[in-house]
Amino acid sequence: MNDSPKAGNGSRISADLSAKIPQNQSATVENDSDPNLSIGADSHAGRIAGETVETVGTGTFTPAPSSKLISTGRSAFLVGAGILASRIVGLIRQRVFAHYFGTSAAGDAFSAAFRIPNFLQNVFGEGALSASFIPVYAKLLARDEDEASHVASAILAMLALVTSTIVVGGVLIAPYLVSITGFEGETRELTVRLIKIFFPGAGLLVLSAWCLGVLNSHHKFFLSYTAPVAWNLAIITALILFGGRVGQFQLAEFVAWGSVIGSALQFAVQLPTVLTVIHRLRPVVDLANAHVRTVMRNFIPVFTSRGVVQISAFVDTIIASFLPAGAVVALSYAQSLYTLPVSLFGMSVSAAELPAMSRTLGTVEEVAAALRQRLDAGLRRIAFFIVPSSMAFLVFGDVIAAVLYQTGEFRQDAVLYVWGILAGSTVGLLASTLGRLYSSTYYALHDTRTPLRYAIVHVVLATVLGYFAAIHLPPALGIDPKWGVTGLTVSAGIAGWIEFGLLRHTLNKRIGTTGLPTRLLAILWLGAAVGAIIGWGLKLMVGILHPVPMALLVLGSYGLTYFGVTSALGVNQARQITDRAFKMLKFWRS
């Protein structure tokens, strides 16, 4: 069947979409109160790299009455606030970890060991489960709460069964998993022991991700995204209790056990609230239920897609293990930083939009118009924060790494090392963050296979490019082999842009043209560039300074300049933030 859109009444988005949307209902759109960063009257003009396609339907869209509108602006804020709280504690955890491990061999072993069972958490957990479970469960809540509870119970039972089996298998094959890395001797033996400890904790985190799916569907976002604070605090406690009292290798094992305790706590803090929203939680394996089969059918391609992406991260760790000591843990430090804006802004918007998009009802044309509206609004919100984040990592990566990590065993050479890796990550930061929202739109359409195909393209490209950039390029250029890890982040960025382009091109053919206005992007990058010039100038003027006041001066001036320029040039999101800041200032003065 042809997926190309056609104008006029009765036009179809795709076979998947038209088969699943009731044709005789008015669109119910959960509209965002945010002005969506529009600039001037024509906010749709000049979209970047967007092909010209004929939009589905007549091209007009009338929002539902205000009584039916549900804002995802507050939901995105709660998700972002929860993630921010978790990430702040996570950065504190990384700082304490850096104090005791620096860029040591024990730090490499810990980072690599955690990556392997973490693969289980990320593949079975938050991403795959949310994308397959939330659209089905959220829709059932609006129709039949008893059936929704039954489906949630069945999914919990199957998750527990499958993950328990994988955890046992993972513990048994831990030595074989480590054999494909470049670790040798004591570092290799430590990595094996750590993997055996980590695997049970990863299984508990999968169950925690089930709680997240349930709570998000009930619009209880804050708890599910702050729950990881318990996990971080358990690790910090272990580091403080045993750090300095035992050697680095033994400390790594104690901290691994702290991680397992933290995983149990992360699940436990969510469970009471879950039990209040699911009135009849009775775990049972029910493969005959049509809704359960739908979740499973959607889960498999998303699981594979997430697995492919996690394989890419796992491959990066394996490649880094063949580089000089410290490369694996340095990559981990950098990842904690460059995934922060992805989580805060990309994940928060995508997580809030997925249930809202999934509940959109109407004719094919009405749903397409509603999705375009939601997607474009989300893209603008994301870009407003990701553009300055990219510029900050590129220009001020040393300032950021120093204020967060420079202590104890983490010295100035490690600061510069992490800065180089961060700079490489800026190549694809915007693409990977925007791509999350495009993937969520596909999931809302019950299309989990298209993102899978493009994720495979991403991984193949990132692996091939990363191998040559990390292993062969540094010797060819005559530079220190340790800088090969920067080649990994650059390669992933290039692959991320290709994946993003494919996601947008295909979705545009289904629902009509989407994307970011060129003028908006130009203003955002201009504001970031002006802020970077001012911040860099201040950095040169003050010379050597303690990391904390240096960060306050440089990053503070950079952020204020960015908000000032974008506000002056008409970006509504900046105006809202600056207006609120001035109101608060006047309030405190009065």
Assess whether pLDDT exceeds 70 at residue 393. yes
Beta bridge partners of 407: 410
Range in 208-222, 243-257, 260-274, 405-419 with the lowest mean pLDDT: 208-222
pLDDT band of 205, cuts 50, 70, 90: confident
Q: What is the arithmetic mean of pLDDT over 457-466?
A: 93
Amino acid residing at 479: I
Range in 393-397, 438-442, 520-524 with the lowest mean pLDDT: 438-442
Q: What is the arithmetic mean of pLDDT over 143-169?
A: 86
pLDDT for residue 383: 93
Residue ranges of domains in the chain: 69-516, 517-590
pLDDT for residue 285: 82
DSSP3 helix / strand / coil % (the chain, rounded to 5): 75, 0, 20
- Structural contact between residues 138 and 355, judged by C-beta atoms closer than 8 angstroms: yes
pLDDT for residue 160: 87
pLDDT band of 259, cuts 50, 70, 90: very high
pLDDT for residue 47: 31
In this prediction, what percent of the chain has a pLDDT beyond 90? 41
- Structural contact between residues 170 and 199, judged by C-beta atoms closer than 8 angstroms: yes
pLDDT for residue 500: 95
120: closest CA among 72, 159, 68, 151?
A: 159
Q: What is the arithmetic mean of pLDDT over 61-86?
A: 56
pLDDT band of 50, cuts 50, 70, 90: very low
C-alpha dihedral, 447 to 450 to 453 to 459, nearest 10°: -90
Range in 219-228, 252-261, 403-412, 494-503 with the lowest mean pLDDT: 219-228
Assess whether pLDDT exceeds 50 at residue 94. yes
384 vs 212, residue with greater confidence = 384
- Structural contact between residues 329 and 104, judged by C-beta atoms closer than 8 angstroms: yes
Q: What is the arithmetic mean of pLDDT over 495-516?
A: 92
Label residues 555-565 b or e (16+ Cβ within 10 Å = b). Answer: bebbeebbbeb
Q: Token pair for residue 259? A: 């991680």
pLDDT for residue 254: 96
As a whole number of angstroms, the distance between CA 320 and CA 297 comes to 35
Assess whether pLDDT exceeds 60 at residue 123. yes
Interval 304-361: pLDDT, tens: 766 676 777 788 889 999 999 899 999 989 988 988 888 778 777 776 676 667 666 6
pLDDT band of 155, cuts 50, 70, 90: confident
Q: What is the arithmetic mean of pLDDT over 47-61?
A: 32
pLDDT band of 79, cuts 50, 70, 90: low
pLDDT for residue 360: 66
In this prediction, what percent of the chain has a pLDDT beyond 70? 81
Assess whether pLDDT exceeds 70 at residue 507. yes
As a whole number of angstroms, the distance between CA 517 and CA 158 comes to 44
503: closest CA among 518, 514, 493, 494?
A: 514
Assess whether pLDDT exceeds 70 at residue 590. no
41 vs 188, residue with greater confidence = 188
Beta bridge partners of 243: 246
Q: What is the arithmetic mean of pLDDT over 116-133?
A: 69
pLDDT for residue 511: 87
Strand, coil or helix: what is 463?
A: helix
343: closest CA among 156, 491, 122, 119?
A: 122
pLDDT band of 378, cuts 50, 70, 90: confident
Q: Token pair for residue 18? A: 């038209």
Alpha helices in 218-289 (DSSP H): 221-226, 228-242, 248-277
Q: What is the arithmetic mean of pLDDT over 193-222?
A: 85
Assess whether pLDDT exceeds 50 at residue 230. yes
**Which contiguous run of DSSP H or E holds residue 444?**
helix 429-444
